[in-house]
Structure 1
Amino acid sequence: MSASPGLPRPRPLRRAFVAAAATLGLAAAVAMAATAPADASAPTPPSGWTQVFADDFDGAAGSGVDTANWQYDTGTSYPGGAANWGTGEVETMTTSTSNVALDGSGNLRITPRRDASGNWTSGRIESTRSDFQPPSGGKLRVQARIQMPNVTGAAAKGYWPAFWMLGSPFRGNYWNWPSVGELDIMENVQGLNTDWSTVHCGTNPGGPCNETTGIGGSTSCAGSTCQAGFHTYAMEWDRSTSPEEIRFYLDGVNFHTVRANQVDATTWANATNHGYFLILNVAMGGGFPGAFGGGPDGGTEPGHPMVVDYVQVLKSSGGGTTPPPSGGRDAYSAIQAESYDGQSGIGTETTTDTGGGQDIGYIAGGDWALYKGVDFGSGGARQFYARVASGAANGVSGLVEVRLDSRSNAPVGSFAVGNTGGWQSWRTVPANIGTVTGTHDVYLTFSSGQPADYVNVNWFDFGH
């Protein structure tokens, strides 16, 4: 439903059009605040979904992972498998807690390190279970809340963190890739603010799945970068649709979908008619970093961990909708506006903003949206940022307000917004707020002296 910037946009007839004398401008875009690692437990499954696996990585600082849930991959290959894990990476994987350890605050840290001789070590763990697949006619959702290694530029050369899955027939064979399937939920290289998601299948090289590249898509992290804050990376494998779909999400926004009819039936069956196991690792070097400048080299900084808050697997026996967030939100990572827990007067629509997905729109005075369980931590948030657009007529403007725990409470902060050049002409706008700590339900409320629609919101977050 998006319209070109500056062109009239159809609006619901329930609202009158009112013009006035002046138009408010918007502040220029500002840098997003980084976030320190935070512990947010895996969210409670919504109605219609069942949790089949979860690890919150609770445990003493410096301890290893729970070996009932995970097993370590060690060395430079699977036993009898391709050298350098088949990708050309240069590190040796270990069980050492210097590479793989809990931090005592509800997070797993996988940390690459380099010794005095220039040799790299890192960590790679995979789930002991290898039976993760959707039921017939149902869905499987696999998600994790992760902060990528917080390193960028030349210091990040060679870094390759990933959260991914391999088809169970690979375990013990190690030479049947890619026919048995690989689902890359999150991959990143070189400290770029980019999340890549890919389905690998068929034959290598080339074949119906374009190997070794695979069928991939990518997007950027909004609010804080992928490196500076936690974000939720998810895959939803849906057997309730025809054709069957595998969808990838960043912070609740579907940015890449692969459908069964994109390849021949035999290729799809070989890749999907079995269970999968999960993998978390940070590789150094290899083919993917090689496509973006290579590394690691002498300027690469060791010691920057991938931090994993939780991993969760859900199943739905029917065709229920994607689970909406319900609590456990990080105030310092982008909160997608369409992921509300409640609203009044608001609609959703496709956005042309960076990263795609949806925004909330049709917003006028008196409307509101609720976001439950936003964790501000103990450091105190003092800034509010929102990604907004407006095609409102001259003189039509209003406030975007933040209220905590009740719509009747006074706003802790707000900013004014008027026409930005179009309903899909986006700006990031900052506002000072009173210091906020702890966990709160956040209401976005909208106040205007005119009854006309005046703003769209794509996402928002907070800063220190």
Structure 2
Amino acid sequence: MSTSRIRRTPLLTVVVALVVALAGFIGVTGAGQARGDVPPTPGWNLQWSDDFNGANRTLPSSANWQIDLGHGYPGGPGNWGTGEIQNYTANPDNLSLDGSGNLRITPLRDGAGNWTSGRVETRRADFKAPAGGTLRIEGRIQMPNVTGQAALGYWPAFWALGAPYRGNYWNWPAIGEFDIMENVNGINSVWAVLHCGVNPGGPCNETNGIGANRACPGASCQSAFHTYRFEWDRSVSPNQLRWYVDGQLFHSISQDRFDAGTWANMTDHAGYFILLNVAMGGAFPNGVAGTGTPTAATVPGRPMLVDYVAVWTRGGGTTPPPTTPPPSGSSQLYLRTGGGAGDATASAGSVSVSSAGGANYDGTPHNPQVFTSSGITRRHNGGATQFDLFADSGSAVANGQQVRVSYDRTGDGSWDRTETYHYFATDPVPGYEHYTQAKGLKSATGTLGDLSNGRVRVEVWNAIGNGASAVGVGNQSVVRIPFD
């Protein structure tokens, strides 16, 4: 290159530098390069995030994530319900921060041909679009950088499951699954999939789900970071679900595609928890040729890198539902509009409880109103749960409200004690009635114990009848927890 040509190119050099910087901003930087902090998103309110800053070979934050181990949940379907073959571990070789601002999930194969990998899920399981607003879940991820025969069996994923799956493990797909990013076999494509309804078949065509896929913009999915985003929009009617890659919309589903029951089962619960994993083998649910067990040509050791995961909301009011613990020395949780529970600062009101539609949901929450109080640290006093709920079904005949109270003693997302009470048959005369613990326990699981940053959840639903009903909130309905 001549000296004269070098002197004529500084503008070109600046332009190239700007293009490279812009590419990094929109999510297509080179392998292993973290962008830094979670990016600002004007107009959105950040609810939760992790940008995976930390020393090399340290585990992700235990305050944010719980690590899945083995070949399935205890009591759940084997091989995680998909036929995948790897053993999930907490070994830093499989799961750790990389010291450069990324979470690194690395599948490995030992000398006997056994595969290990990593899988994490958020401790929080309450990510949900606010009423009248929008939820946004986003991650900036580089898929395992492997293609062709060497990639056979690789199955990286960034996804979310409905909260009721925890502790049940047999209610999929009714509780909902949002696959924000899936890939298989190193194909330059991102899949976005919704799972719902019943399996097999049903409104979501299980086990395939309702999906779409496209190539990653610019650089391939495997060779660079890309930003994968899911939105649940409750600000429009019908509600909308949307999937993006690098800001480009490529899949959307409308609420009016489903019957009311399917949509309610998928959305009318506490919310969702987020998962990140790299599976090996298994039944990738979209009919891609070549899925299944890795072959001798499959190369281990190619990690998925995650720069950040973040959750935002927009609209639906700027103040989140109150979930403050009761004041010190008090054991009373008053139910509040918006799904919270706390002290009696709110004025009287009511929320609607959906009709049972003539079905029998005795013992099984159906479209419940859910109230949660978190951050509670108290000593169990040996007593029992008490409550006094204002219930009214107007002039509806043969309606019955039911309540379930659950305790998460450490705030880790698992319910250590669940108490379901016999339903209360409301009378057909307008006016509130008192539903109390005197109806008696129908069932109970687990044990009570001290709360350390724990949570209490109250679910109210109609177990029987054909009419909607109401439950009082504000200073009307109260749950007294047995803690000092």
Unmatched runs of 5 consecutive residues or more in structure 2 = 1-27, 319-484
- Give the drift of 1:318: 4.4
Identity among equivalent pairs (%): 58
Kindly provide the amino acid, as one letter, of the partner of residue 146 in structure 1. Answer: I
Distance 2:128 2:87 in 1: 30
CA contact (8 A) 1:45 1:314 kept: no
Distance 2:72 2:162 in 1: 17
Say which of 42, 46, 70 aligns to 2:41: 46
Q: Does 1:293 align with 2:290?
A: yes
Runs of 4+ in 1 over 6 A off after TM superposition: none
Quote the residue 2:274 is aligned against.
278
Distance 1:35 1:58 in 2: 18
Distance 1:106 1:45 in 2: 17
Do the aligned partners of residues 266 and 37 (structure 1) sit closer, same or farther apart at CA in structure 2, a change above 3 Å counting?
Answer: same
Per-residue CA distance 1:267-323 (angstroms, 9 max, x = gap): 011011120000000000000187421330111000000000000100112499xxx
Distance 1:237 1:319 in 2: 16
Matches within 5 A, 1:64-75: 64-75=59-70
Kindly provide the amino acid, as one letter, of the partner of residue 232 in structure 1. Answer: T
- Give the drift of 1:168: 0.0
Distance 1:106 1:282 in 2: 19
Kindly provide the amino acid, as one letter, of the partner of residue 92 in structure 1. Answer: N
Quote the residue 1:242 is aligned against.
237
Per-residue CA distance 1:78-127 (angstroms, 9 max, x = gap): 01000000000000000110100101000010000000000000000000
Quote the residue 1:158 is aligned against.
153
- Give the drift of 1:35: 1.6
Match of 1:150, SS?
A: coil
CA contact (8 A) 2:181 2:192 kept: yes
Unmatched runs of 5 consecutive residues or more in structure 1 = 1-32, 321-464
Distance 2:37 2:263 in 1: 31
Match of 2:150, SS?
A: helix
Distance 1:319 1:220 in 2: 36
CA contact (8 A) 2:145 2:222 kept: yes
Say which of 108, 112, 121 aligns to 1:117: 112
Per-residue CA distance 1:400-420 (angstroms, 9 max, x = gap): xxxxxxxxxxxxxxxxxxxxx
CA contact (8 A) 2:29 2:225 kept: no
CA contact (8 A) 2:38 2:49 kept: no
Give the structure with higher Rg (CA): 2
Quote the residue 1:56 is aligned against.
51
- Give the drift of 1:225: 0.1
Quote the residue 1:355 is aligned against.
none
Quote the residue 1:101 is aligned against.
96
TM-score (norm 1): 0.61
CA contact (8 A) 1:190 1:292 kept: no
Per-residue CA distance 1:58-77 (angstroms, 9 max, x = gap): 00001011000000010000
- Give the drift of 1:48: 2.9
Matches within 5 A, 1:427-442: none
- Give the drift of 1:37: 1.5
Distance 1:47 1:65 in 2: 28
CA contact (8 A) 1:63 1:97 kept: yes
Match of 2:66, SS?
A: strand
CA contact (8 A) 1:240 1:319 kept: no
CA contact (8 A) 1:148 1:306 kept: yes
Per-residue CA distance 1:382-440 (angstroms, 9 max, x = gap): xxxxxxxxxxxxxxxxxxxxxxxxxxxxxxxxxxxxxxxxxxxxxxxxxxxxxxxxxxx
| Number of equivalenced pairs | 288
TM-score (norm 2): 0.58
- Give the drift of 1:239: 0.2
Per-residue CA distance 1:225-284 (angstroms, 9 max, x = gap): 000000000001100011101100000011000111111111011011120000000000
Distance 1:253 1:47 in 2: 18
CA contact (8 A) 1:134 1:315 kept: yes
Distance 2:42 2:104 in 1: 32
Tell which has more relative contact order, 1 or 2 (C-alpha 8 A, sep 6+).
Answer: 1
Say which of 142, 145, 154 aligns to 1:147: 142
Q: What RMSD over aligned residues (CA atoms) do the two structures have, in Å?
A: 1.6
Quote the residue 1:344 is aligned against.
none
CA contact (8 A) 2:38 2:51 kept: no
Distance 1:83 1:212 in 2: 16
Matches within 5 A, 1:370-409: none
Distance 2:185 2:179 in 1: 17
